[in-house]
Structure 1
């Protein structure tokens, strides 16, 4: 049986994770150059920044709306884990912090996928 705080805590977790994804989309719109440089450094086309921006925005909005939570949270988790590889730069402590942060976000997304919205576990 879910206690009265569970739904509020899960909703808070959704919003906090959503802010990160929406913020990533806004950041790419305002200044795509750093993300483009990471893509270019990995031999990928810089134009991939735009689908990434759309993905970030859609994931963030879907989390806020509570739409298809399990699927969206799983997609966000996989995306966070995959994009962590761009930051795997052992000689750069800042990039390594982002690498680990992305894995933590992936973990939060997986937990969110399990609990969904609780009531009905959407």
Structure 2
């Protein structure tokens, strides 16, 4: 394995950690997320599909399964959820807003470049030659 494959795996795990934390946070104390949803005129119960998406997406990133479409879905999720943090008078919320867009950028890079060779695959694994 090349060091790039290990770096890609580490990067996927670090991005996944954020979404695992989001899952745990929504599970342990859903009230803040429910409040954000309701303040935006949405149903509070949407916190549960969001929590499950956080967990499923994180596990997919770590395992490297459905990596490219999941990375694009996560980028779109981060872009959409950044709306809840677009509060120009609150520097803390604005930093979360910018971080969401930065994470979306990292996910788009994963979607474009893939996640290296350390991924779960069925059947024979394709081996690439070093360039």
- TM interval, shorter chain, is over 0.9
Give the whole-Å Cα distance in 2 for the aligned partners of 1:56 and 1:67: 15
Contact 2:12 2:115 (8 Å CA) reproduced: no
Give the whole-Å Cα distance in 1 for the aligned partners of 2:60 and 2:95: 27
- Please name the residue that 1:8 is paired with: 6
Q: Please, what is the CA RMSD of the aligned residues?
A: 1.3
User: How many corresponding residue pairs?
Assistant: 118
- Please name the residue that 2:55 is paired with: 57
- Please name the residue that 2:104 is paired with: 106
**Offset at 1:59?**
0.3
Q: Which has the larger radius of gyration?
A: 2
Could you list the runs of 5+ residues in structure 2 that have no partner in the other structure?
Answer: 118-125, 127-131
**Offset at 1:4?**
2.2
Runs of 4+ in 1 over 2 A off after TM superposition: 117-120
- Please name the residue that 1:23 is paired with: 21
Give the whole-Å Cα distance in 2 for the aligned partners of 1:74 and 1:26: 22
Give the whole-Å Cα distance in 1 for the aligned partners of 2:35 and 2:90: 15
Give the whole-Å Cα distance in 2 for the aligned partners of 1:93 and 1:76: 24
Q: TM-score, normalised by structure 2?
A: 0.86
Task: Write the mapping of 1:65-104 to structure 2, written as runs, cut at 5 A.
Answer: 65-104=63-102
Q: Indicate the structure with greater helix content.
A: 1
